[in-house]
Amino acid sequence: MAYSANAQFENTRDSVVQLYGVVMTADSLVGIPAVSVTIEGQNRGTLTNNQGVFSIVVLKGDKINFSHVTYKSKTVTIPTSLKGNQYSLVQLMVVDTVFLPATIIKPRPTPEQFARDFVNVKIPDDDIEIARKNTSAAKRRIWMRTIPGDGGEATRIQMNKIANRAVYQGQTPPMNIFNPAAWVEFIQAWKRGDFKNKK
């Protein structure tokens, strides 16, 4: 048991590699600073210094990614048959050129055309104007008719009904004879003929 543990420790220690090197431009051999040197599949990495030099601890067989916003990314694999625990390399990177579509900027032909376009341009509403329109009296009336009540309002109505039933528990509730809304409803029901004898 002790022999197998020692052998495993020797294998693990033998697979650790100190990787160091320099990242340079392929055309002029100038060190590239701030290149990301990361190990694929792991959350470990480093950056090159001002001269493009870097150093990181890796394992044999790891894939090392070199990436920069201006250059094409490169991937290097550490050899598994490497003798020793140190590995150095010089990584060359090629500039990644991106061509954007051409944009032509030209002035207005005449001051009159500029004045006409400036006057006719439509400016979108800002937050204050949108809030002013949403809080107008007409908009509030529309929303009161269309937006259903929320949970708090439904709960409040239900609690009021329960409270009214509790107040008049065991007795006859009051008549709505002096309630104008009740009289309006009574008159409309009378006109509809709700109180006619139906045979």
C-alpha 121/C-alpha 84 separation (Å) is 72
The DSSP bridge pattern shows strands 16-25 and 86-93 to be: parallel
For 2-93, CATH gives 2.60.40.1120
Q: Which strand ranges, in their side-by-side order, compose the sheet holding 53-59? A: 53-59, 16-25, 86-93
The pLDDT value recorded for residue 190 is: 84
The DSSP bridge pattern shows strands 74-77 and 16-25 to be: unpaired
- Quick one: which of 143, 160, 144 has its CA closest to 152? 160
The pLDDT value recorded for residue 7 is: 45
Tens digits of residue pLDDT in 81-125 = 888 899 999 999 999 887 788 888 877 678 888 888 888 888 888
Contact by Cβ (8 Å): 68, 38: no
The pLDDT value recorded for residue 140 is: 84
Residues of the chain with pLDDT under 70: 1-13, 108, 197-199
Q: Please compute, for residue 196, the number of CA atoms within 13 A of its CA located in the half-sphere on the CB side.
A: 8
Residues of the chain with CATH 2.60.40.1120: 2-93
pTM, rounded to two decimals: 0.46
- Quick one: which of 19, 28, 35, 30 has its CA closest to 72? 35
The pLDDT value recorded for residue 71 is: 94
C-alpha 23/C-alpha 30 separation (Å) is 8
DSSP 74: E
DSSP 97: -
The DSSP bridge pattern shows strands 53-59 and 16-25 to be: antiparallel
